[in-house]
């Protein structure tokens, strides 16, 4: 029996990277997982890879989480397929970096719509089911940038800081139903997105990490599994930085 045996989880941004690692870890712990990605190809590929290890554990879906009506419709489909949702992980995120002097309104809206409004849309789509499930969990994946800010990432920092405030409000609103809501704030995690960075940039980042190493997607997946499990029943409204000591 896994830590998440017979639970139903929805994970956004699960076509690759951190989201996929979370979905796979959940499946390994006995959960059924609805994998959401922006593209059908990525969601199906991730589901197939997980099902190869854990038969029947995953099903893929495609949606732009920034599109409220589309998310609402997908929510109905997922609930029809799985009956209910116990765990919601809002991991979908994008960047559109640039100094504020040159940042367009479109760049701002693109990041805020996906990273922050996307989480709102997903919670709205599943909140009735979540509130009915004993010990349901909401886990929002933010970033240490939402805690400390970063030059050239005003939009991204604002979206992740907003996600933290959103989560704390959810924690207070849903606590009466036994639902917890927490944030994971990853530091520098080795993914496809960070892999394209210049080696000098990576070296500069390493100097700021006390543990002197980059995190792995599996580190975030482990934290998410803990927060989703019964072991974390008395933890809500918190921000768990998984960053090698980068922010403390």
Supply φ then ψ for residue 100, to 5 degrees.
-60, -30
| Axis-axis angle for helices 217-228, 17-28 (nearest 10) | 50
Which residues are CB-contacts of 19 (< 8 A; sequence separation ≥ 6)?
11, 12, 13, 35, 37, 89, 91, 92, 141
Report the predicted TM-score, pTM, of the whole model to 2 decimal places.
0.96
Name the DSSP class of 239: E
Cα separation, 184 vs 240, in Å, equals: 5
Given the residues 54, 61, 156, 234, select the one marked as catalytic: 156
Mean pLDDT across the stretch 224-239?
98
Question: pLDDT band for position 193 (50/70/90)?
Answer: low
* pLDDT score, position 199: 86
* pLDDT score, position 20: 98
190 bridge partner residues:
216
Tokens at 174, concatenated: 């849903």
Question: Tens digit of pLDDT for each residue in 88-137?
Answer: 999 999 999 999 999 999 999 999 999 999 999 999 999 999 999 989 99
Question: pLDDT band for position 198 (50/70/90)?
Answer: confident
Q: What percent of the chain has pLDDT over 70?
A: 99
The domain defined by 8-240 folds into: Rossmann fold (3.40.50)
* pLDDT score, position 44: 98
The CA angle 80-84-87, to the nearest 5 degrees, is 130
For 19, 119, 187, 247, the CA distances from 34, given in Å and listed in that order, are 11, 16, 26, 32
Question: Tens digit of pLDDT for each residue in 32-69?
Answer: 999 999 999 999 999 999 999 999 999 999 999 999 99
Mean pLDDT across the stretch 198-204?
86
Which residues are CB-contacts of 78 (< 8 A; sequence separation ≥ 6)?
10, 34, 61, 85, 126
Question: Tens digit of pLDDT for each residue in 129-186?
Answer: 999 998 999 999 999 999 999 999 999 999 999 999 999 999 999 999 999 999 999 9
Is 156 in the active site?
Answer: yes
Q: Which of 178, 183, 61, 74 is nearest to 125 (CA)?
A: 74
């Amino acid at each position: 029996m896994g830590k998440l045996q017979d639970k139903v989880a929805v994970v956004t941004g699960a076509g690759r990277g951190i989201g996929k690692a979370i979905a796979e870890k959940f499946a390994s712990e006995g959960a059924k997982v609805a994998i959401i990605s922006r593209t059908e190809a990525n969601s199906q590929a991730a589901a197939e890879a997980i099902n190869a290890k854990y038969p029947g554990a995953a099903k893929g879906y495609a949606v732009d989480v920034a599109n409220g009506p589309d998310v609402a419709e997908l929510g109905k489909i997922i609930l029809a397929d799985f009956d209910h949702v116990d765990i919601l992980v809002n991991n979908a995120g994008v960047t559109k970096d640039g100094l504020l002097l040159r940042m367009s309104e479109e760049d701002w809206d693109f990041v805020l719509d996906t990273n922050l409004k996307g989480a709102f849309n997903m919670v709205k789509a599943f909140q009735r089911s979540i509130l009915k499930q004993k010990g349901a969990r909401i886990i929002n994946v933010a970033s240490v940038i939402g805690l400390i800010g970063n030059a050239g990432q005003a939009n991204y920092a604002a979206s992740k800081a907003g996600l933290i405030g959103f989560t704390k409000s959810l924690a207070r609103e849903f606590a009466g139903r036994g639902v917890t809501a927490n944030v994971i704030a990853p530091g520098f995690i080795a993914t496809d997105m960070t892999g394209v960075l210049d080696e000098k940039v990576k070296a500069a980042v390493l100097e700021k990490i006390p543990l002197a190493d980059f995190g792995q997607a599996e580190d975030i997946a482990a934290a998410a599994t803990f927060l989703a499990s019964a072991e974390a029943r008395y933890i809500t409204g918190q921000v768990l930085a998984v960053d090698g000591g980068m922010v403390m």
